[in-house]
Amino acid sequence: MIRINLLPEEFAEKKTVLSLPLKEISVILLALMVPVWLYVTYHGRVIRRELDGVTAELSGLSPELVKADQLLKEMNQRFLPRKAFFDKLSNLELEWDRVMDSISSALPPGVWLTALTFSESPELDVRLEGLARPYNTRSSASLIGDFVTLIKKSLEAYVGSGNPAQAGSVFRSETFTQQRDTESQQLTEFIVEFRKKS
């Protein structure tokens, strides 16, 4: 429906229009934008300072990180072979705590071990190095012989069935000795190698 006002202008309804001048609108918008711009600029500078501080910290940590990586590599080079050695020991058929106890209890007075080595081959090879001196009326050679016999029995007791009577002779042994004179007494250096028979 179309509405037509036929009344004279004095009596006709007039529409009220708010008209703000363009100048006032731009001043209001500018007044709102300036605080927003100042806020964003201030926080941008704060964030930039924090970022510069973190960057400086990281650049200071770079040499320390390189040192830490280098130390980690050195530790791996030093400890990984040892770990591999102990892994091989744990995979063998021996109960190592009992074997070490047997070696310790088999040592007669006057005999000392200076080295104990295990081979990395699939067969079990054990090498014992040490020193012996005469004790009471016994010579160092007889002490070494008793020690070798006891150790061989101990190793054979823990290989395979665990029963030395059933295991038979599992190891063959070789003994090397050399006399060494010191200022106070005569010592015998010895090397005993046990190799598991194939």
Element (H, E) at 192: strand 186-196
**Could you tell me the two tokens for 142?**
């007889």
**Residues 103/116, Cβ–Cβ less than 8 Å:** yes
**What does the pLDDT average to over 62-68?**
83
DSSP letter assigned to residue 32: H
Looking at the predicted structure, is the pLDDT value of residue 48 above 90? yes
Predicted pLDDT of residue 39: 92
Condensed to tens digits (0 to 9), the pLDDT of residues 121-131 reads 666 677 888 88
Between 19 and 167, the higher pLDDT residue? 19
Condensed to tens digits (0 to 9), the pLDDT of residues 117-164 reads 877 566 667 788 888 888 888 888 888 888 888 887 777 766 554 444
Kindly report the three-state secondary structure assignment for every residue of 131-178: EECCECCECHHHHHHHHHHHHHHHHHHHCCCCCHHHHCCCEEEEEEEE
Averaged pLDDT score across all residues of the chain: 77
Predicted pLDDT of residue 89: 62
Looking at the predicted structure, is the pLDDT value of residue 64 above 90? no
Based on its alpha-carbon atoms, the radius of gyration of the chain, rounded to whole angstroms, reads 46
Going by pLDDT thresholds of 50, 70 and 90, the confidence category of residue 98 is confident
Predicted pLDDT of residue 161: 45
CA distances in angstroms from 184 to 133, 180, 181, 187, listed in the order given? 11, 11, 8, 10
Predicted pLDDT of residue 41: 92
Predicted pLDDT of residue 165: 46
The CATH architecture that domain 93-196 belongs to is 2-Layer Sandwich (3.30)
Predicted pLDDT of residue 189: 87
Domain boundaries, the chain: 20-91, 93-196
Looking at the predicted structure, is the pLDDT value of residue 35 above 80? yes
Predicted pLDDT of residue 88: 66
Q: Which long-range contacts (CB under 8 A, 24 or more apart) does 60-66 make?
A: none
User: In one letter, which amino acid is 7?
Assistant: L
Looking at the predicted structure, is the pLDDT value of residue 87 above 50? yes
Condensed to tens digits (0 to 9), the pLDDT of residues 163-192 reads 444 445 556 667 777 777 667 778 888 888
